[in-house]
Amino acid sequence: MLSCLLRGGCSPRLCLWALLLLPLVSLHTLNQHGRRSHGVNERPKLLLVSFDGFRWDYINRVPTPNFHNIMDNGVIVEHVENVYITKTYPNHYSLVTGLYAETHGIVANEMYDPVLNRSFSMETDSVYESRWWEAAVPLWVSIQKAGGRSGAAMWPGSDVKIHGMFPNKYLLYNASVSFETRVERLIEWFSAPKEAAVDFGVLYWEEPDESGHNLGPESPLMDVVIAGIDEKLGFLMNELKKARLYENVNLIVTSDHGMTQLSSDKIIELDEYVSRDLYTWVDKSPVVALLPKEGKLDEIYQKLVDVNPNMVVYKKEDVPEHFHYQHNVRIMPILIAAKEGWTIMQNRTGPFMLGNHGFDNNLISMQPVFVARGPAFRKHYIKTSMRSVDLYPLMCHILSIPPLPNNGSLLNVQDLLYPEPTVSTPSPAPRVYVYSYAPVVGSFLGVAMVLGFLCFYIRQVTVKQLPSLKHRSREMSQPLLQEDLHL
């Protein structure tokens, strides 16, 4: 229409109508979130990336220009409290559900469910059994139920059918698929034609966790590993830029947990205290889960409770409330939690690692990195702390879908957003109303243009046609032509 006006190729009346309608159309397409209403696949875009075991302070240990670029143009949360136990499976599921492990049911990497009488291990195909996952609904399922689309590159649980659904696009877990290939798939999915493009993507990479276990986080060799992760992030950012996605996609880069240094001088050998005949070993260090043989619970507990100052032994019902790690049948009757830096084994013959995680989620060494950028986020903003369960309501807000009941709160993290929403009630998060200045400014400009055009039009008509009243009345009575209505 504007070009039509500029070319002078349409009648002034037609343009006047179009200008009058312009602000109305603009207001109509704004929803209660103050954003443009999202037609099919016009939702805001979000990519959640996890570098497994990337501890919060790694970014300041060696130059990490790409992490810093995101921070400078977006936000950083310095301290993220993740969920207990600080292992891969429980934490990745918490990130996409906003639930503590006791609630979402993936309480460990290795579990036993006495009701199902089944074992779960991330090293077996048991991970593909839906029933382990269905106490919660991951965000990719929710967004699809809300009419959006999702794509997943090896996020734990994303290749499992949960509540009858896989992500629209996903990769079967295969650790030998390179980071670059995972990124390329995601870029394809985000850049697909409008109807097919994903709105929400998740990307998982095994490092620096693997090196952290093998080398120990304090090893100078970890410097190269961390720099390598920063390069991988740079690759991702470049690919997003090349695909013209970088400015539109909200990018969150985080992790499941940190890592702490172990030592072969700090090993607790359970065989010294209690016979293996009394229990089944379910999960390994640093939070060892034991299933006592029939009637042996108290005996095991008494044999372990005060024998070593470097471990804390809990009966399930005595696990401190702040761990949120009690109310699930998959949490075993006895837990033995190693103190930081210690390893619990049955004896020294098993494999020993120089780094580990799984410890108390209040330890600073267990905290993951968190940086984010994109249209939804503030720029150059530093936040001191958040809980990883708060990420879920934040992501739901960004994606404009109502969050399911969760343990997080948008209130805790809304200051990361631009513009900051006004949230009045705590989680389970209500629908959030965000008002932007854009529609007001847009409408004001529209009205101003109309008024300006009106003045110009009246002046033209008056000046040109005043001498001929006959001519003028004929023009005034002329009906709107049908073709003029085709705006």
Alpha-carbon radius of gyration of the chain: 29
Minimum CB distance to ligand AMP smaller for 132 or for 377: 132
How many residues comprise the chain?
487
Count of alpha carbons within 13 Å of 31, Cβ hemisphere only? Answer: 13
Tell me the C-alpha distance between 411 and 404, whole Å.
15
Which residues, other chains included, contact 206 with Cβ-Cβ below 8 Å and sequence gap of 6+?
A: 52, 175
Residue 175 contact, options ligand AMP, Zn ion, none, Cβ 5-8 Å cut-off depending on partner type: ligand AMP
Residue 167 contact, options ligand AMP, Zn ion, none, Cβ 5-8 Å cut-off depending on partner type: none
Is 86 labeled as catalytic in the residue annotation? Answer: no
Q: Does 209 bind Zn ion (CB under 5 A)?
A: yes
Tell me the C-alpha distance between 422 and 441, whole Å.
20
Q: Pick from 122, 146, 345, 454: which binds ligand AMP (CB under 6 A)?
A: 122
Minimum CB distance to ligand AMP smaller for 45 or for 104: 104
Tell me the C-alpha distance between 257 and 217, whole Å.
13
The residue number with the shortest CB distance to ligand AMP is 88
Q: What strand order describes the sheet that includes 287-292?
A: 279-283, 287-292, 334-338, 311-315
Q: Does 230 bind ligand AMP (CB under 6 A)?
A: no
What x/- string results for residues 130 through 159 when contact with ligand AMP is judged by CB under 6 A?
------------------------x-x---
Which residues, other chains included, contact 366 with Cβ-Cβ below 8 Å and sequence gap of 6+?
A: 82, 86, 257, 258, 260, 357, 359, 360
Q: Pick from 210, 231, 269, 299: which binds ligand AMP (CB under 6 A)?
A: 210
Least distance to Zn ion from the beta carbon of 153, Å?
16
Residue 113 contact, options Zn ion, ligand AMP, none, Cβ 5-8 Å cut-off depending on partner type: none
102-141 b/e with 16+ CB inside 10 Å = b? bbbbbbbbbbbbeeeeeebbbeeeebeeeebbebbbbbbb
Least distance to ligand AMP from the beta carbon of 244, Å?
30
Least distance to ligand AMP from the beta carbon of 170, Å?
10
Q: Does 70 bind ligand AMP (CB under 6 A)?
A: no
Q: Does 308 bind ligand AMP (CB under 6 A)?
A: no
Helix (H, G, I), strand (E, B), or coil: what is residue 154?
Answer: coil
Least distance to Zn ion from the beta carbon of 213, Å?
5
Q: Which residue among the candidates 64, 86, 88, 97 is catalytic per the annotation?
A: 88
Q: Does 88 bind ligand AMP (CB under 6 A)?
A: yes
| φ/ψ (deg, to 5) at 429 | -60, 135
Q: Does 50 bind Zn ion (CB under 5 A)?
A: no
Count CB atoms within 10 A of the CB of residue 440: 12
Contact, 90 vs 120, CB < 8 A?
no
142-176 b/e with 16+ CB inside 10 Å = b? bbbeeebbbbbbbbbbbbbebeebbbbbbbebeee
In Å, how far are 48, 93, 131, 157, 222 from 152, measured between CA atoms? 10, 13, 20, 10, 28
Tell me the C-alpha distance between 376 and 373, whole Å.
8
Contact, 367 vs 80, CB < 8 A?
yes
Residue 206 contact, options Zn ion, ligand AMP, none, Cβ 5-8 Å cut-off depending on partner type: ligand AMP
Q: Does 206 bind ligand AMP (CB under 6 A)?
A: yes
Least distance to ligand AMP from the beta carbon of 299, Å?
31
Q: Does 209 bind ligand AMP (CB under 6 A)?
A: yes
Least distance to ligand AMP from the beta carbon of 185, Å?
15
Contact, 328 vs 105, CB < 8 A?
yes
Q: Does 95 bind ligand AMP (CB under 6 A)?
A: no
Residue 185 contact, options ligand AMP, Zn ion, none, Cβ 5-8 Å cut-off depending on partner type: none
Tell me the C-alpha distance between 342 and 285, whole Å.
9
DSSP state of 426: -
Helix or strand (DSSP H, E) at 304: helix 297-304
Q: What is the DSSP string of 332-344?
A: -SEEEEEPTT-EE
Q: Does 88 bind Zn ion (CB under 5 A)?
A: yes
| φ/ψ (deg, to 5) at 120 | -120, 135
Minimum CB distance to ligand AMP smaller for 42 or for 210: 210
Minimum CB distance to Zn ion smaller for 58 or for 301: 58
The region of 84-92, 179-187, 192-200, 264-272 touching Zn ion under the rule CB under 5 A is 84-92
Least distance to ligand AMP from the beta carbon of 153, Å?
10
By CB under 6 A, the residues from 46 to 65 that bind ligand AMP are 52-53
Least distance to Zn ion from the beta carbon of 98, Å?
19
By CB under 6 A, the residues from 331 to 370 that bind ligand AMP are none
Total residues binding ligand AMP (CB under 6 A): 14
The region of 33-41, 206-214, 287-295, 311-319 touching ligand AMP under the rule CB under 6 A is 206-214
Q: Pick from 6, 115, 175, 469: which binds ligand AMP (CB under 6 A)?
A: 175
Residue 109 contact, options Zn ion, ligand AMP, none, Cβ 5-8 Å cut-off depending on partner type: ligand AMP
Q: Which residues lie near ligand AMP (CB under 6 A)?
A: 52-53, 87-88, 109, 122, 127, 154, 156, 173, 175, 206, 209-210
Task: Give the residue numbers annotated as catalytic, written as ranges.
Answer: 88
Where along the sequence are the contacts to Zn ion (CB under 5 A)?
A: 52-53, 88, 209, 256
